[in-house]
Amino acid sequence: MANQKVRLNKYIASTGFCSRRKADEYIEAGKVTVNGEIITELGYIVSVKDRVMIDKKIIKPEPFVYIRYYKPAGYITTMDDEKGRKTIYDLLPEEVQNLKPVGRLDKDSTGLLILTNDGDFINDLTHPSVKVPKVYRVTAQGKLNLNDLEVMEKGIEIEKGQIAYALARIIEFEGKNTVLEMVLHQGLNRQIRKMLDCLGHPVISLKRLSMGPVDLQGLKRGQFKYIKPKQVNEIRAYLKKLIKNASK
């Protein structure tokens, strides 16, 4: 940012503290101070020379970092767990301990996680209106048929008033079980597991293969790699198109 002046919400997002939308909420709630003064004006302009605090905590811009991570089973996707369960941060090295996950995978699921300290990037990848496709390889109990796939595409009520959708195709049958490729544009909690439970075909294994243009290529289980600046720019261009389409 050098000494350039920017809107307060953009400054806050540049610290990795949260997204611009969330920053606006903090500002409107009177939780943000600049040089000791409470600021509630959304368009307020600041520079790196200003002392910005949220809930009395100083926040400063830091370089954005992005990684791809192949999550193994047995770990939850959170920075801290009150129940003392093992988290992905028990596996990740100190150099990336400050990065936040873009969405989650439950304890028993494996596959792609993106982690970053870029709040806007996280918001764009996970916002419901953007509909970033997420691809999964799923093994389910029993043999599903075309009718089951149609039901998932039309939508299943997995919770009262909560309809989940998925595009799915059968890859193969493994004995009495079915291997599926499933594509989600939603981010509901344990969505695939709940959908297949409703159909009477509980999930045996679930792996996320990709999220938008980002995939697991070149990663071994438990390994992470930095996403290079060129790749980040390509992802941003991809998201920009999705956001533009969503606004039409």
CB 46 within 8 A of CB 3: no
What is the SS3 assignment for 172-220?
A: EEECCEEEEEEEECCCCCCHHHHHHHHCCCCEEEEEEEEECCEECCCCC
- Start-to-end Cα distance in the chain: 32
Told to judge if 81 belongs to the known catalytic residues of this protein, a careful annotator would answer no
- Establish how many alpha carbons lie within 13 A of residue 8's alpha carbon, considering only the half-sphere containing its beta carbon: 26
The DSSP letter of residue 37 is E
Residue 114 identity:
I
Q: How many CA atoms lie within 13 A of 58 on its CB side?
A: 8
Q: How many CB atoms lie within 10 A of CB 46?
A: 21
Burial (CB count within 10 angstroms: exposed 0-12, middle 13-18, buried 19+), residue 211: buried
- Spot the catalytic one: 81, 106, 108, 215: 106
DSSP H or E segment with residue 151: helix 146-154
- Could you tell me the CA-to-CA distances from 187 to 38, 163, 181, 218, 227 in Å, in that order? 35, 12, 17, 25, 23
| Residues written for the chain | 248
Instruction: Indicate which residues carry an active-site annotation.
Output: 106
